[in-house]
Structure 1
Amino acid sequence: MQKKQIGFELSIYESPDELSQIEQKLLSEAEAARENAYSPYSNFKVGAAVLLENGEIVKGNNQENASYPSGLCAERVAVFHAGAIYPGMAIKTVAISATSKDYVVDSPAAPCGNCRQSIIEYEQKQKSPISIMLRGEVGPIYKCNSMADILPLAFSSSFLSDS
């Protein structure tokens, strides 16, 4: 038997002031996007902002549905929207911010498994990493260099063919 440990580097910023100007703008756009979330069931609003290689920023927010599986998370709304209006344009960074009507979200909320898989599909397709920035409504900002960091054993199209 062989054992391996898989890990990644995570940067933690105490304040948006520690971020670059474009990262501050992207986080601000994610925070603005979460305000338009439709979350009448969970009262948990999430906003996402996607920075593309051409400098465009595309936003999304969670959209709930009484039939729970029918809703979409902010990350997928933003990434799919970017893919629809800028096909072939590489995604550089996804910023995600969460808040709640019921309590103060003071730690970063990471993407769910479906969102991780959806974002890594774009990372694999474009053959370049997508950095991820996470923040609650207040508190620290987490940043990792690639979605592959937080989904190290990702499923890919390579499993669907023998070539």
Structure 2
Amino acid sequence: MKKISITTDFDVFESIQELPEIIQNLMQEAIAIRKKAYAPYSNFKVGTALLLDNGKIILGSNQENAAYPSGLCAERVAIYQAGTLYPEAKIIKIAISAASGNSTTSAPIPPCGSCRQSIAEYEIKQNTPIEIYFMGEIGSIYKSDSLKNLLPLLFDKNFL
């Protein structure tokens, strides 16, 4: 038997003010769109802002549905919109903010598994890492230099 070890590194910013200005603005966009999320069932709102290499910012918020699997996460709303509107553009940065209506969310909330897979698809397609910044409602922000930090054993088209 052989053992492998996988480690990841994240940069941690204690507040939005510590972020580079461009990321502060992107995170503020994510926070603003988070407040417009449609989450009447979970009361858990997520907002995402993507920065594309053409300078465009694409926003997304989670959209729930009484038939739970029919809803869509904020990250995928934004990613698919970017892919539709600007299919040749690369996603270079993603800012994510999540908040619960039941309690204050102070821990950084990473993308769910389905969103990680969707981000992976675009990172592989564009052959460029995507910086991912994520936070709760308040508190510190984690930065990942690539989706590979969050999903190190990627499933991609090479397996099909």
Q: TM-score range by the shorter chain?
A: over 0.9
Name the aligned partner's letter for residue 29 of structure 1: E
Structure 2 residue 5 is the aligned partner of structure 1 residue 5: yes
| Structure 1, unpaired ranges of 5+ | none
Structure 2 residue 5 is the aligned partner of structure 1 residue 26: no
Percentage of identical aligned residues? 54
Shift of 1:52: 0.4
Shift of 1:108: 1.0
Name the aligned partner's letter for residue 115 of structure 1: C
Moved more, 12-21 or 68-77: 12-21
Structure 2 residue 68 is the aligned partner of structure 1 residue 58: no
Distance in 2, matches of 1:91 and 1:124, equals 11
Q: Residue 135 of structure 1 aligns with which residue?
A: 135
Distance in 2, matches of 1:104 and 1:45, equals 12
Distance in 1, matches of 2:7 and 2:84, equals 33
Q: Residue 102 of structure 1 aligns with which residue?
A: 102
CA shift digits 1:19-64 (9 cap, x unpaired): 1111001100000110110000000000000010111110000000
Question: 1:108-127 counterparts in 2 under 5 A?
Answer: 108-127=108-127
Distance in 2, matches of 1:65 and 1:53, equals 32
| Superposition TM-score, scaled by structure 2 size | 0.98
Distance in 1, matches of 2:40 and 2:92, equals 31
Distance in 2, matches of 1:35 and 1:16, equals 17
Distance in 2, matches of 1:57 and 1:86, equals 11
Shift of 1:124: 0.2
Count residues in correspondence: 160
Name the aligned partner's letter for residue 31 of structure 1: I
Distance in 1, matches of 2:56 and 2:18, equals 22
Shift of 1:18: 1.2
CA shift digits 1:88-116 (9 cap, x unpaired): 10000111001121110111111111000
Distance in 1, matches of 2:82 and 2:66, equals 26
Distance in 1, matches of 2:73 and 2:57, equals 18
Q: Residue 67 of structure 2 aligns with which residue?
A: 67
Distance in 2, matches of 1:17 and 1:95, equals 14
Q: CA RMSD in A?
A: 0.7
Q: Residue 35 of structure 1 aligns with which residue?
A: 35
Name the aligned partner's letter for residue 119 of structure 1: I
| Superposition TM-score, scaled by structure 1 size | 0.96
Distance in 2, matches of 1:123 and 1:136, equals 24
Structure 2 residue 88 is the aligned partner of structure 1 residue 88: yes
